[in-house]
């Protein structure tokens, strides 16, 4: 019986041409494999040799499909001979172990293949060293400037924002922010610099792309996007579906949970494809996340990935308290949020500024409520009331530098002063990326202010309720 073995080195290659030639030569059973020829332990080759019996023949398309070193070649041929079987190569007619002449000739090509492999490796190593000596930096260019890296590290260490939120403001993934090394006295150590360069040279994974990249963004060379499996009907290329960590707003979750692939497109047999894939929260088993993508296949399981959109929309849901605060300008705020998550800095900044300026009095009303509950100094209430009557937003904010209850301060800073600082920037003097940074800052401060306002009023209500209950249960005298 004639058994055949076909092999390619990487997922991006195909055994189809080998299989066609082997079938034309009368192949009865073909073992296919994707593995480097430098590996001596190959599962499908092991199975092919195990299947051989007395008088059988193992056929390959070319000699280098069987082995890439003399030692490996001789060991493999010895295993075939122990089975009482022969070996042949289609492209090398002289490679036939059924004759003494063929057995002698087989050792020479194996040595040449090994010699050629060593030459290629040496040339590659020498070329890389020459390039480094000439000042060429290997790998991809840095995604962040030194200034952006310092700024991102400070924001990350401050702990008020998630890695994903910080990354979005620089149009990188949260994974990139997490890998940034710490600065010591403003200067990186040699080891930290080397570690940072190595980390940043690593390509983005498909999981990172789905988790961290906003829609309308093309990322080239994303890895771990697709794979190959071999079955009874031949080779099948498929889209990988890694587990994701996403925000779930179900009442049983309300935070970051694992989402796992539920349904959608799985095949990837063409050079490019538009796909829909749906994930489901593994905790509540109810909420889902759908992605619409365009993938362009590249070698070694990589692909250029473009995200058309996702549903629910990209990003962490907007806090209810914040939407309640901007009830009349809710849609305008959400438009700003969508612009921010799509990297449209100028649009996001304009929408957020309009919301804050139009809802100035609503914000001040809520602050006055808190101040009244806390029985603050009357002069503070008077300053807040006068600011409400001020028509110009900038003058109103400037008059309130010290007129805000302590419980509403954000890390010791007046949130109104922080908002005024961000909103006073001249729009025409800033780049889109700088506007995106400002928009992000405005949203974070607004979210924290809304949270503190709600918490302060809630605490006061709970305290009043507790006192009322205690008064009702007070024993009569």
Read off the pLDDT of residues 2-29 as tens digits, 9 standing for 90 and up.
889 898 887 667 888 888 888 888 888 8
**Residues 453/367, Cβ–Cβ less than 8 Å:** yes
Give the up-direction half-sphere exposure of residue 148: CA atoms within 13 A in the CB hemisphere.
Answer: 16
- Residue (of 51, 273, 315) closest to 174 by Cα position: 315
* 38 upstream amide cis, omega within 30 of 0: no
Question: 476 pLDDT band (50/70/90 cuts)?
Answer: low
Q: How does the average pLDDT of the chain come out, rounded?
A: 79
Distances (CA, A) of 469 to 182, 407, 462: 52, 25, 11
- Residue (of 335, 337, 456, 351) closest to 406 by Cα position: 456
**Per-residue pLDDT at 185:** 40
Distances (CA, A) of 328 to 259, 338, 384: 34, 18, 22
The mean pLDDT value for 226-249 works out to: 85
CA 39 to centroid of chain Cα atoms: 31
Residue 444 in this model has a pLDDT that exceeds 80 = yes
- Residue (of 218, 173, 217) closest to 199 by Cα position: 173
- Residue (of 319, 358, 344, 269) closest to 446 by Cα position: 319
**Residues 22/9, Cβ–Cβ less than 8 Å:** no
The mean pLDDT value for 238-249 works out to: 89
> Angle between the 345-358 and 360-373 helix axes, to the nearest 10 degrees?
60
The mean pLDDT value for 400-408 works out to: 82
Q: Round to whole Å and give the CA distance between 78 and 66.
A: 13
Question: 293 pLDDT band (50/70/90 cuts)?
Answer: very high
Q: Catalytic residue numbers? A: 9
Residue 213 in this model has a pLDDT that exceeds 50 = yes
**Per-residue pLDDT at 289:** 94
Residues in Cβ contact with 275 at an 8 Å cutoff, skipping those fewer than 6 apart:
239, 264, 265, 268, 292, 293, 294, 295
64: burial class by Cβ within 10 Å (0-12, 13-18, 19+)? buried
Question: 97 pLDDT band (50/70/90 cuts)?
Answer: confident
**Residues 289/278, Cβ–Cβ less than 8 Å:** yes
**Per-residue pLDDT at 117:** 60
Residue 189 in this model has a pLDDT that exceeds 60 = no
**In what helix (H) or strand (E) does residue 377 lie, and over which residues does it extend?**
none
**Per-residue pLDDT at 418:** 82
Return the SS3 of 192: helix
Question: Which tokens is 231 given?
Answer: 């079955």
**Per-residue pLDDT at 241:** 93
**Residues 295/305, Cβ–Cβ less than 8 Å:** yes
Residue 468 in this model has a pLDDT that exceeds 50 = yes
Q: Round to whole Å and give the CA distance between 216 and 3.
A: 50
Question: Lowest-pLDDT range, 20-34, 114-128, 236-250?
Answer: 114-128
**Per-residue pLDDT at 276:** 93
């Amino acid at each position: 019986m004639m058994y055949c073995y076909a092999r390619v080195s990487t997922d991006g290659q195909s055994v189809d041409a080998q299989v066609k030639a082997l079938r034309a030569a009368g192949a009865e059973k073909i073992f296919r494999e994707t593995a480097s020829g430098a590996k001596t332990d190959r599962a499908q080759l092991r199975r092919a040799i195990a299947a051989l019996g007395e008088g059988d023949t193992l056929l390959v398309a070319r000699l280098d499909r069987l082995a890439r070193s003399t030692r490996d070649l001789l060991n493999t041929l010895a295993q075939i001979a122990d089975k009482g079987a022969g070996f042949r190569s289609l492209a090398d007619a002289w490679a036939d172990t059924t004759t003494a002449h063929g057995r002698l000739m087989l050792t020479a090509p194996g040595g040449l293949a090994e010699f050629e492999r060593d030459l290629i490796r040496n040339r590659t190593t020498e070329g890389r060293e020459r390039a480094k000596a000439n000042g060429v930096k290997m790998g991809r260019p840095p995604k962040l400037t030194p200034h952006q890296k310092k700024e991102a590290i400070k924001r990350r260490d401050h702990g008020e924002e998630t890695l994903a939120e910080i990354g979005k403001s620089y149009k990188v993934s949260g994974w990139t922010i997490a890998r940034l090394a710490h600065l010591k006295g403003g200067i990186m150590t040699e080891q930290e610099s080397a570690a940072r360069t190595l980390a940043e040279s690593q390509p983005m994974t498909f999981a990172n792309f789905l988790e961290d990249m906003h829609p309308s963004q093309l990322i080239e060379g994303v890895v771990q996007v697709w794979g190959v499996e071999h079955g009874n009907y031949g080779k099948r290329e498929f889209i990988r579906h890694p587990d994701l960590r996403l925000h779930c707003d179900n009442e049983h979750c309300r935070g970051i949970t694992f989402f796992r692939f539920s349904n959608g497109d799985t095949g990837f047999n063409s050079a490019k494809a538009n796909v829909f894939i749906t994930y489901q929260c593994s905790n509540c088993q109810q909420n889902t996340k759908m992605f619409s993508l365009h993938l362009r296949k590249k070698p070694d399981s990589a692909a250029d990935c473009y995200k058309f959109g996702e549903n629910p929309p990209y990003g962490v849901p907007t806090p209810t308290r914040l939407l309640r605060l901007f009830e009349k300008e809710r849609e305008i705020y959400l438009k700003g949020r969508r612009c921010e998550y799509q990297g449209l800095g100028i649009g996001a900044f304009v929408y957020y500024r309009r919301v804050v300026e139009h809802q100035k009095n609503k914000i001040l009303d809520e602050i006055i409520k808190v101040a009244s509950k806390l029985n603050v100094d009357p002069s503070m209430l008077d300053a807040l009331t006068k600011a409400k009557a001020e028509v110009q937003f900038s003058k109103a904010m400037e008059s309130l530098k010290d007129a805000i209850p302590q419980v509403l301060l954000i890390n010791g800073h007046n949130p109104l002063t922080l908002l005024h600082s961000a909103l006073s920037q001249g729009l025409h003097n800033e780049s889109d990326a700088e506007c995106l940074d400002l928009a992000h800052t405005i949203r974070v401060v607004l979210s924290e202010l809304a949270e503190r306002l709600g918490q302060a009023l809630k605490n006061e209500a709970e305290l009043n309720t507790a006192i009322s209950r205690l008064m009702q249960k007070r024993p009569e005298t």
